[in-house]
């Protein structure tokens, strides 16, 4: 459905014209967006490696995208990045936290059935709240908002970030969902580089899922 929106946005254009438009938009992309993209990719890479740098580098990305999201009428994404900022600080603390034996408290692991249920309830609750909030914002402030799509991308991101701070393997499934939704969502807003950025993050998310699954399996043996 989101990809259909992309086609509608470019209705009547030939493939050559779309490629030309894509190239032109890349050329006028702001420096600040390039910085956000690089920081975001690096952050996901560090996350895949279970490196604590995921959080300080990620903070650079989230602060910039809060600014960009408001400019391009993506209030849901702005809220996501504000949430990222808060959770990055929390995750930074949790990943560094050690017990009385000076050993790390958190380890990469799979969620049990109860935790999976909590994830689904958390996602559903976030989606409902965000959807109706965005419907109101679209009618009164942000005409360019796409409530159902923005809410889905945001709610799945909320869930993924929460699970990431707890080092749950399933966080990557939510990141994959977020990236799939965000690719066309940003494209129709004219943020072409960010759309490509989410495609790269999608690839990294699959790699991260595989890496964390392997670590969790080894730890369970």
- The average pLDDT across 148-153 equals 87
- Predicted TM-score of the model (pTM): 0.84
Mean pLDDT of 171-199: 86
Q: DSSP letters of 98-138?
A: B-TTS-BS---B---HHHHHHHHHHHHHHHHHHHHHHHHHH
Residue 1 clears pLDDT 60, i.e. is over it: no
- What are the residue ranges spanned by the domains of the chain? 2-98+105-220
* DSSP assignment letter at 145: -
pLDDT at residue 30, as a whole number? 83
Give 143's pLDDT tier (boundaries 50, 70, 90).
Answer: low
Angstrom distance (rounded) from CA 149 to CA 174: 15
């Amino acid at each position: 459905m989101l990809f259909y929106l992309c086609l509608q946005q470019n209705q009547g254009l030939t493939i050559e014209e779309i490629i030309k438009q894509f190239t032109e938009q890349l050329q006028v992309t702001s420096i600040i967006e390039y910085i956000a993209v690089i920081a975001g990719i690096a952050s996901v890479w560090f996350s895949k490696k279970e490196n604590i740098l995921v959080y300080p580098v990620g903070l650079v990305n989230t602060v910039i995208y809060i600014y960009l999201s408001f400019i391009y009428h993506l209030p849901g994404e702005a809220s996501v990045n504000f949430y990222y900022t808060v959770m990055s600080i929390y995750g930074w603390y949790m990943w560094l936290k050690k017990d009385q034996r000076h050993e790390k408290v958190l380890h990469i692991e799979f969620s049990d059935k109860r935790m999976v249920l909590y994830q689904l309830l958390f996602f559903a609750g976030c989606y409902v709240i965000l959807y109706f909030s965005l419907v109101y914002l679209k009618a009164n402030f942000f005409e360019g908002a796409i409530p159902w799509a923005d809410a889905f991308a945001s709610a799945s991101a909320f869930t993924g970030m929460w699970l990431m701070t707890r080092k749950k393997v399933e966080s990557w499934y939510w990141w994959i969902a977020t990236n799939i939704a965000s690719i066309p969502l940003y494209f129709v807003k004219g943020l072409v580089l960010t759309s490509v950025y989410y495609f790269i993050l999608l690839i990294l998310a699959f790699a991260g899922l595989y890496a964390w699954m392997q670590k969790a399996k080894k730890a369970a043996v």
